[in-house]
Amino acid sequence: MTEAVPFIRPEVATFLTAFNARPRPPMNDEGIRMMRQIPPELMAQMMQEIELPLGPLAVDRALVIPGPGGDLPARLFDARAEREPSPVVLFFHGGGFVTGSVATHAPLAAEIARALDLPVVSVEYRLAPEHKWPAAPDDAEAAARWIAANGAALGREVDGLVLSGDSAGGTLALVTGLALRDRPAACPARLLLAIYPMADASRHYPSQQQFADGYGLSSPDMAYYTSAYAPDPHSPRHSALVADLTGLPPVVVATASLDPLRDGGRALVGALAQAGVPVAFHEAHGSIHGYATYRRGIPSAGADLAAVLGLARAMLEPGAAA
């Protein structure tokens, strides 16, 4: 029996044709060394071909957070100059634990700040191959604990955390949520927001083969990310799905129907529901991994992101997860 051709939005097909035709450095140690020579601000400018501008904000300022391996640069985004006590969103950028930065993902972090009407702190964490696992989750947990206890440094009174991220950053949001469940921070985690995360590296899922090549996140790139980062695929500090999920705060999971990571995300949603964790789910039908940072290149991705953030906003309403 011939497998049905998956639906792909026409604008996504056009985007992928241009994406696959564009030359880029090889995803290997030498290619990463070349990429590290490009200033993050220049990388962010290059992203403007496919991503929307930063947009209006009342606050956009640099921070420094102490981390276990040294200071972690961070950036505070807020649509309001002043606010009452509120949760703070901690955002971890994507990039396979190898690439990406606060600068490249600034438009996404700013949009989260506006859509949730909450301050967002986007944090740099140590990247592979220079820093292997578990450097990234160590940094993510340390940043979450510091923000929970240091609202004065933000000029904000923090009464909770929203742990969020896209791709690798979504994975960090999940594993940090598990860490804070087991050893609470100075204020509670109120929501986990995981946008197309790697939820389970402990087993192979059909979507990894179905969308291995031609859909933006290629199998050679994924293999390099794994070898560079060198995680333990069976550890809950990398594969959240292998953990006992009971007792987590509410979770919003976003996937894309043409994403190699799709099936792991779907499995996570089912496991969260079975564990009694309030969970909301959005799948971008006919779209690809990375869509939340491709809003200029794929205009309909803006509506997908709005839907995901609408779910997050609803889950944060008092009594929503009761």
CATH of the domain at 278: 3.40.50.1820
The whole-angstrom separation of Cα 82 and Cα 89 is 16
What's the number of domains the chain is made of? Answer: 1
Residue 257 within any structural domain of the chain = yes
Tell me which residue range forms the domain holding 231. 10-316
Quote the distance between the C-alpha of residue 35 and its chain's center: 21
Residue 4 within any structural domain of the chain = no
Predicted local distance difference test score (pLDDT) of residue 321: 63
The predicted-structure confidence for 38-88, as pLDDT tens digits, reads as follows 998 898 899 999 999 999 999 999 999 999 999 999 999 999 999 999 999
C-alpha angle 59/160/142, rounded to 5°? 85
Residue 104 within any structural domain of the chain = yes
Residue 1 within any structural domain of the chain = no
Q: What Cα–Cα distance (Å) separates residue 3 from each residue in 6, 210, 219?
A: 9, 10, 20
Predicted local distance difference test score (pLDDT) of residue 322: 57
Predicted local distance difference test score (pLDDT) of residue 1: 40
Residues with a catalytic annotation lie at 167
Residue 265 within any structural domain of the chain = yes
Predicted local distance difference test score (pLDDT) of residue 88: 98
The burial of 152, by beta-carbon neighbours within 10 Å (0-12 exposed, 13-18 middle, 19 or more buried), is given as exposed
Residue 202 within any structural domain of the chain = yes
The residue to which tokens 């979507």 are assigned = 207
Predicted local distance difference test score (pLDDT) of residue 2: 43
Residue 81 within any structural domain of the chain = yes
Residue 3 within any structural domain of the chain = no
On average, the pLDDT of the chain sits at 96
SS3 sequence, the chain?
CCCCCCCCCHHHHHHHHHHHHCCCCCCCHHHHHHHHCCCHHHHHHHHCCCCCCCCCCCEEEEEEEEEECEEEEEEEEECCCCCCCEEEEEEECCCCCCCCCCCCCHHHHHHHHHHHCCCEEEECCCCCCCCCCCHHHHHHHHHHHHHHHCHHHHCCCEEEEEEEEECHHHHHHHHHHHHHHHCCCCCCEEEEEEECCCCCCCCCCHHHHHCCCCCCCCHHHHHHHHHHHCCCCCCCCCCHHHCCCCCCCCEEEEEECCCCCHHHHHHHHHHHHHCCCCEEEEEECCCCCCHHHCCCCCCCHHHHHHHHHHHHHHHHCCCCCC
Given a cut of 50, the residues of the chain with pLDDT beneath it are: 1-2
The whole-angstrom separation of Cα 255 and Cα 217 is 13
